[in-house]
Amino acid sequence: MSQYANYTVASDDYDKTRAAVGVDTILSCLARTSVPLGNQIVLEAGCGTGNYLEALRPHLGSLSGMDFSEGMLTQARTKFGEEVELTCGSILDMPYEDERFDGITCNQVIHHLDEGPDASDDPVDWKPCSNPNVTQFIQEAYRVLRPGGAFVINTTSHTQFRDGYWWADLIPVAVARVCCRMPDLDRLKEILTAVGFEIETVSADLDGILQGPSYLDPMGPLGEAWRAGDSTWSLSSDAELADAQQRVEKMNTEGTMQAYLEERESKRFGIGQGTFVCGRK
Ligand SMILES: C[S@@+](CC[C@H](N)C(=O)[O-])C[C@H]1O[C@@H](n2cnc3c(N)ncnc32)[C@H](O)[C@@H]1O
């Protein structure tokens, strides 16, 4: 199982640089079933600090969250106390009985599940990932979901990874590394279908900004807490990070940063940062 991002460290600052985007999309997918939303028992797999649980909670019957980072769950517990069932463990092997949940959502997690090249690996040694852990997670989700229940995966396509984030252009090797670890949308749909899900909708969120208000900070890449808001940065080698930071400093000093941001952001407007894949059991 991949653990390239240190969420014990990131958990302290995570909420300063992350927002729950696409909550309406998740709710509309969960709602297309015979059980009213207000009665549904829903799991967020890889819930982190509970940003999505917090946004979903007023609309649903009961919520459970699972994550393998105690640091992230500690933050979540401060928000919910005993009101949300929070379980520490891997979503590849869930402790829940068969068909327990009416719905499952998984937000920005699947790129963490499989192994891939790390910052120290030479690109010539890279091999494509066959996504065994993503497949195992999807099989587990199928097992614990009741028939007719919705499974909403919020992920980032390879195109969105490359051009949906202005700073991705500064660390292209790290972006290639993350894409190497995770299925792109066609492969994800193939895995979901092979496991037994019917794909209902695949929709890009063109407006949502995962890093929240700090996303456009022109000095952002220079700060560790800012970079901790997106795990892609942790896949940069020291040399790639130093080069990226030099470019940022130079553009800020020379007054060209605004034009660079505008050019990069014009690419995001057409593709967005996240995609919601809704499957039905
Ligand atoms: C980018 S964060 C997303 C957190 C939350 N879903 C959100 O969107 O705010 C990824 C989360 O996935 C968790 N994670 C990664 N692999 C996991 C696994 N195998 N089992 C459980 N949690 C995992 C990490 O600990 C981290 O909290």
Q: Tens of pLDDT along 38-51? A: 999 999 999 999 99
Distance 67 CA to ligand 1 centre (A): 6
Atom of ligand 1 nearest to the CA of 230: 1
Distance 263 CA to ligand 1 centre (A): 31
Q: Tens of pLDDT along 147-156? A: 999 999 999 9
Cβ(1) to ligand 1 under 6 A?
A: yes
**Alpha carbon nearest to ligand 1 atom 18, residue:** 90
Q: Tens of pLDDT along 118-129? A: 878 787 788 878
CA distance 220 to 95: 39
- Confidence check: pLDDT of 10 > 80: no
Q: Is 102 exposed, middle or buried (0-12, 13-18, 19+ CB in 10 A)?
A: buried
Query: Do the Cβ atoms of 64 and 44 come closer than 8 Å?
Result: yes
Buried b (16+ CB within 10 A) or exposed e, 70-96: ebbbebbbebbeeebebbeebbbebeb
The pTM score is 0.94
Query: Do the Cβ atoms of 145 and 98 come closer than 8 Å?
Result: no
Assign domain 7-280 one CATH number from 1.20.1250.20, 3.40.50.150, 2.60.40.10, 3.10.20.310. 3.40.50.150
